[in-house]
């Protein structure tokens, strides 16, 4: 009881101190605002939001400390209790995110996509709910934003404007409209006062996370707050999002012309767009995880899985400009507008990329090192894996863990020369092994996340999103996606070497390397086909 009272005392003091400091952050926001009256009105809600955050954070911390108190490490009882605490805490966090909205939902989405970097109970609870149950702004609020940004109400600016949104996300919602020229468009409208509340919300979240880390050192998610601090202002600027979509398509036309036709971003209507409102071409398509709708289009889901893998591999290893939020709602599939057909009359797909707010630019060094790392992973090159992991800060004690996080496979599988060494079988024992792996090395994972460059953390999130897309499309081990990654990463490295070749001998040497790698990947592809054939016929 004495220990419980002590912990509860820490909880109460923590909540009170956070509330006082958060009030100071709100006052600072009012002082810096261009519209003090509006900011004052907004900041009356900040203490309420902060109080919810403080109580939730303190309750979660107290629950972990008190519930696990005295339970031996590695005991069955501790594992059972920890699972229960994880589940309760995830639900508390989910409730907090929905009540506070805005940046909190963005944080919840981010956590929900970090499979095996946070406890599974959190990802299971947050992944779907944070994407599919986002709050919506009222039509009156939408009208206020449209009038402020475009100079008139929706019915004046557009020929038609559906008051019911077709989608809502953490920062904005989308309405279908028609311009006076007759074009059907999607209008992305930022939730009211999002920019005004973001600064105060970020300050309070940062305060709580830092304070929690000081009181309970095992709770260390400062890296997540740092990432939101960097990305949120860019995501709140819809002109930046429009420019990202144009740059993305330009990269495919210049650097990846062989697949440029198969990747698309909706056109932007610049005369109807501002930093808080974005008007785009309306594109019909099936959501990438909707297998039934994709098959009704006459498209094979395996073709989509290959296209998604190729598209993002080209971004990561050749363009160095990466769409970092490829979850289900941001990827649509439609038939190729040119009506080209593949073998046996199958329709060819086109991948439509939505929501271009979150991109990361990889400098040449990071891009080539990342490509070299993935090439080594696919080819089970232990020496290459270690060398390239260490370039990202994962030293002798962490490189195997980093490789495991990237591939979701334990080290003995990562370096297994079998063609399917990186495929996750999806059965109960495989899933259990991965969860045990993440749980057992949680402190080391936290240490690794602090050492890795921020841009690589977003690559981890992107990998998790793409893995979920692939699993939804084909629902079995995908060796082919890894072969695609290996091929594209190798091509990027060869292109980089050729650009620096200053003699005929060097040029020929690189050419020979290119041929040998292509032969190796062809052998891997042939081995994969044989493996699939034997599996299909139980040979």
* Predicted local confidence at residue 412, as pLDDT: 87
Cβ proximity of 248 and 359 under 8 Å: yes
* Predicted local confidence at residue 350, as pLDDT: 96
Cβ proximity of 479 and 409 under 8 Å: no
- Spatial distance between the Cα atoms of 202 and 53, rounded to a whole number of angstroms: 12
- Spatial distance between the Cα atoms of 268 and 179, rounded to a whole number of angstroms: 13
Decide if 325 is catalytic: yes
Interstrand relation of 167-168 and 263-264 (parallel, antiparallel or unpaired)? unpaired
Cβ proximity of 435 and 120 under 8 Å: yes
* Predicted local confidence at residue 399, as pLDDT: 92
Residue 409 DSSP label: S
Instruction: List C-alpha distances in Å: 459 to 86, 115, 220, 434, 463.
Output: 26, 13, 20, 20, 6
* Predicted local confidence at residue 411, as pLDDT: 86
* Predicted local confidence at residue 205, as pLDDT: 77
Q: Tokens 């041929």 correspond to what residue?
A: 515
* Predicted local confidence at residue 109, as pLDDT: 78
Cβ proximity of 115 and 126 under 8 Å: no
* Predicted local confidence at residue 218, as pLDDT: 62
* Predicted local confidence at residue 106, as pLDDT: 78
Instruction: List C-alpha distances in Å: 462 to 46, 148, 211, 508.
Output: 32, 35, 29, 36
Nearest to 333 by CA among 304, 354, 375, 362: 304
Nearest to 286 by CA among 277, 272, 273, 296: 296
* Predicted local confidence at residue 10, as pLDDT: 47
* Predicted local confidence at residue 231, as pLDDT: 81
- Spatial distance between the Cα atoms of 410 and 427, rounded to a whole number of angstroms: 15
133: number of Cβ within 10 Å: 12
- Spatial distance between the Cα atoms of 446 and 39, rounded to a whole number of angstroms: 37
User: SS3 for 281?
Assistant: strand
Which residues pair with residue 115 across a beta bridge?
Answer: 118
Please give the full DSSP string across 211-258, using - where no structure is assigned: HHHHHSTT---HHHHHHHHHHHHHHT-HHHHHHHHHHHHHHHHHH-TT
Cβ proximity of 202 and 103 under 8 Å: yes
Active-site hit among 325, 355, 420, 464: 325
Give me the average pLDDT of each 10-residue run along the chain (539 residues). 43 49 50 52 67 85 87 86 90 88 78 72 80 82 96 96 91 95 97 76 76 67 76 90 97 96 97 97 94 92 93 97 91 86 74 95 95 95 95 89 86 86 63 60 77 86 85 75 92 88 76 79 73 60
pTM (two decimals):
0.83
Indicate left, alpha or beta for 355 from its phi (over 0: left) and psi (-120 to 50: alpha). Answer: left
Q: Which residues contact 508 (CB under 8 A, 6 or more apart)?
A: none
Q: Which residues contact 491 (CB under 8 A, 6 or more apart)?
A: 317, 318
Cβ proximity of 448 and 405 under 8 Å: yes
* Predicted local confidence at residue 42, as pLDDT: 56
* Predicted local confidence at residue 426, as pLDDT: 53
H or E stretch covering 351:
strand 349-353
- For residue 260 the two structure tokens come to 């440029």
Nearest to 65 by CA among 91, 49, 51, 85: 85
H or E stretch covering 96:
helix 76-100
For the chain, helix, strand, coil in percent to 5 are: 65, 10, 25
């Amino acid at each position: 009881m004495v220990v419980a009272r002590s912990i509860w005392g820490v909880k109460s003091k923590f909540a009170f101190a956070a509330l006082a400091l958060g009030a100071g952050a709100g006052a600072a926001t009012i002082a810096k605002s261009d519209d003090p009256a509006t900011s004052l009105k907004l900041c009356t809600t900040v203490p309420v939001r902060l109080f919810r955050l403080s109580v939730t954070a303190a309750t979660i911390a107290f629950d972990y400390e008190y519930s696990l108190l005295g339970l031996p490490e590695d005991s069955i009882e501790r594992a059972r209790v920890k699972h229960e605490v994880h589940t309760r805490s995830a639900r508390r966090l989910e409730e907090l995110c929905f009540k506070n909205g805005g940046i909190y939902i963005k944080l919840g989405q981010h956590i929900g996509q970090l499979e095996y970097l946070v406890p599974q109970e959190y990802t299971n609870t947050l992944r779907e709910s944070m994407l599919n149950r986002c709050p919506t702004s009222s039509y009156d609020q939408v009208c206020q934003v449209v009038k402020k940004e475009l100079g008139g109400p929706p019915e004046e600016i557009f020929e038609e404007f559906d008051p019911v949104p077709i989608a809502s996300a953490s920062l904005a919602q989308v309405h279908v409209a028609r311009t006076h020229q007759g074009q059907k468009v999607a209008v992305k409208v930022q939730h009211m006062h999002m920019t005004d509340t973001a600064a105060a919300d970020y300050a309070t979240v940062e305060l709580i996370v830092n304070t929690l880390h000081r009181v309970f050192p095992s709770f260390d998610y400062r890296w997540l707050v740092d990432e939101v601090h960097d990305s949120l202002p860019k995501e709140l600027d819809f002109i930046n999002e429009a420019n990202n979509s144009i740059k993305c398509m330009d990269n495919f036309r210049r650097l990846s012309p062989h697949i440029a036709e198969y990747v698309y971003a909706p056109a932007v209507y610049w005369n109807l767009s501002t930093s808080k409102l974005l008007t785009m071409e309306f594109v019909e398509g099936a959501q990438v995880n909707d297998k039934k709708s994709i098959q009704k289009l006459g498209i094979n889901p395996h073709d989509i899985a290959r296209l998604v893998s190729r598209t993002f591999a080209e971004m990561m290893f050749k363009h160095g400009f990466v769409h970092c939020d490829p979850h289900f709602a941001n990827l649509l599939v439609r038939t190729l507008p040119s009506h080209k057909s593949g073998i046996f009359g199958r329709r060819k797909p086109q991948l439509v990329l939505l929501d271009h707010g979150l991109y990361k630019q990889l400098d040449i060094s990071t891009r080539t090192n990342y490509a070299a790392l993935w090439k080594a992973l696919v080819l089970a090159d232990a020496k290459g894996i270690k060398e390239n992991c260490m370039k990202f800060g994962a030293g002798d004690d962490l490189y195997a863990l980093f490789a495991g996080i990237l591939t979701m496979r334990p080290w003995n599988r990562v370096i297994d020369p079998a063609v399917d060494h990186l495929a996750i079988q999806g059965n109960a024992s495989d899933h259990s092994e991965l969860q045990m792996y993440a749980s057992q090395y949680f402190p080391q994972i936290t240490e690794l996340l602090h050492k890795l460059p921020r841009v690589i953390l977003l690559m981890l999130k992107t990998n998790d999103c793409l893995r979920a897309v692939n699993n939804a499309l084909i629902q079995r081990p995908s060796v082919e996606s890894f072969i695609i990654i290996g091929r594209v990463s190798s091509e990027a490295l060869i292109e980089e070497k050729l650009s620096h070749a200053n003699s005929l001998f060097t040029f020929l040497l690189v050419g020979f390397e290119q041929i040998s790698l292509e032969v190796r990947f062809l052998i891997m592809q042939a081995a994969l086909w044989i493996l699939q054939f034997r599996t299909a016929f139980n040979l």
